[in-house]
Structure formats: structure tokens, C-alpha cells
Amino acid sequence: MPYRIIFFFFMLVAFKANANTIINTQSINYSVVVSFGSMCCGTASDDFLKNFVKQFNTKNKVVISAMQVGGCGREGEYKILFSLEKLKEAKKIKFVTALKKLIPEQNEKNKTVKASSGPVTLDYNLPFNKLENCRGQLTKWQPAQ
């Protein structure tokens, strides 16, 4: 009987901690959101973005991390969510400016390789609750190693 009480208490504490994590994560305002769309045949690879973030981190001596949310459509659409709040303003501007240049270039490359590649788009200052069409779990996104 005492084991059941201890187990119940442990489960209650674990559930409460998990609920707080979800609430805290969902209240974040993401500075930059990179969306990987689809046009019939799945999404484009995010390898270019992984390499870009790795190079940006190394060159600027910063650590930019991101979250990924999937289930944003029927063909594997997903979003990479960047919260840049830990960066100084100059680094934020540099990161966003470089992404604004990179994304259209990558879309052109994707069309050349595979005409049916879905578009990659950018959104800015997006609160998590605006991602209601995404049904997937929020997971940590890893740039290239």
C-alpha cells in the first residue's frame, strides 16, 4: 500500500512538471520560423539550413538552437522555430538578413534539382499558438555536427 501512495505521488509530480514545460514552450514567441512546404511529393531537405546554422554559430561564436514541429500538412510539412532572444541585436539582424538571402537561393536550387520540391518560406515573430495547423510534437532540431 505505501508503494502505491509513493507511485501516485511520483506520477502527480511528473505530470505537473510536464504540464509546466508544455505551457512554457507554447508561450514562446519565435523570432524566425522556416517552413518546409510540399507540392505533391514531400518536402525539401533541411540540410542547407543545418549547414548554414552550423557555419553561422562557428563564425559568430554563438549558439543558435531551434525547435522543430511537424504534422503541418499531409505530406510531411514541418517548421523550424528559432527563438533568437539570447542573441544580441546585431547578431539577430545578421542572422535574419543572411536567411532572407539564403531561402530564395535554396528554393531556386531545389527547383533545378526536383521541380516538385515544396517551397521553403520564412515567417517572423510568430507565437507558438499561431501554429495550430501543426499536429506534431515539438522537438529539438539539431544543426549539422
CA atoms within 13 A on the CB side of 76: 11
Range of the domain at 122: 29-141
pLDDT in tens, 58-109: 999 999 989 999 999 888 899 999 999 999 999 999 999 999 999 999 999 9
Is residue 53 in a domain?
Answer: yes
| In a domain? residue 16 | no
**Side-chain-side CA neighbours of residue 57 (13 Å):** 16
Is the residue at 18 inside a domain? no
Residue 10's pLDDT band (cuts 50, 70, 90): low
Ranked by mean pLDDT, which of 7-16, 77-86, 130-139 comes out on top? 77-86
Residue 96 in grid coordinates: 535574419
Cβ-contact 81, 66 below 8 angstroms? yes
Tell me whether residue 22 is in a domain.
no
Residue 49: inside a domain: yes
115 within domain boundaries: yes
Number of structural domains (the chain) is 1
- Quick check: is 51 in a domain? yes
Q: Are 34 and 76 in contact (CB under 8 A)?
A: no
